[in-house]
Amino acid sequence: MNGLTKAEAASLLGWWLDAGVDVPAADQPRQWFGRAALIPATSEPGPADEDQRAPQASTHSAASLESLEAFQDHLRQASDLPLFSATSARALPHGPADAEIMLVSDLPARECASEGRPIGGEAWALTVRMLAATGIKPEQAYVASLACFFAPASQLGPRELERCAEDMRHHISLVKPKRLLLLGESPARALIGQPLLHARGRVHRIAGLPAVATLHPRQLLQRPSDKAYAWRDLLLLMDEEVS
């Protein structure tokens, strides 16, 4: 990197990381222009290798899974999920069934995926404070991400968005929460069919449940002045009567 300043070098390295180049060399070739393929095992795994096996393609569609436990297991193991990458950590849902509120988050940030959670770090701390202000403890909320994997551009194509919407609607039907809070642009487009700017500020119905779309906590950390908008959205949702 002769001739580059430290800032330029850091920017260049960050670009390669976002592109998925996370090691200088690998033992196996990587398919850069297609979906990552699983490398078959060279021998039958034994019990000690149980946790080291590569994720397997699901033999059932997500919509056919009839229990929340089966759906969560599908998210934990399947290789046919939107944005799947064999080298990426999964941001998996957490929380109770029949939750007071279900948070549907936009795509996880890189640090959230590394924590294995849909929302992590300072963004989760802010989320907890917002929920606490309405009397909801974090363990009373079910938290899921529209897709389990980090994407550098934080965007979903139309087909991926449609697939995520179908899977999330089924996910919601299994959780059976009382209310839905959609965090960010992609959940608003997937589940309401509107950009966040148009969707927020009013109550929608998703599978018969009251739902409000609002700004993702990551954006609130970047623009603290927007917290007032998110707070009004949250109050709007909590004031809605539930059956």
Mean pLDDT of 216-220: 95
pLDDT band at 128 (very low <50, low <70, confident <90, very high): very high
For residue 197, which of 220, 215, 209, 211 has the smallest C-alpha distance? Answer: 215
Q: State yes or no: pLDDT of 81 exceeds 70.
A: yes
Query: Quick count: other Cβ atoms within 10 Å of Cβ 63?
Result: 13
Mean pLDDT of 165-187: 96
The model's pLDDT over 182-205, given as tens digits with 9 standing for 90+, comes to 999 999 999 999 999 999 999 999
C-alpha 5/C-alpha 71 separation (Å) is 48
Lowest-confidence region among 10-24, 168-182, 218-232: 10-24
C-alpha 14/C-alpha 51 separation (Å) is 31
Lowest-confidence region among 1-5, 74-78, 146-150: 1-5
Catalogue all structural domains in the chain, each as residue range(s) with its CATH number: 90-238 (3.40.470.10)
> Contact at 8 Å (CB) between 189 and 195?
yes
Q: What is the pTM of this model?
A: 0.73
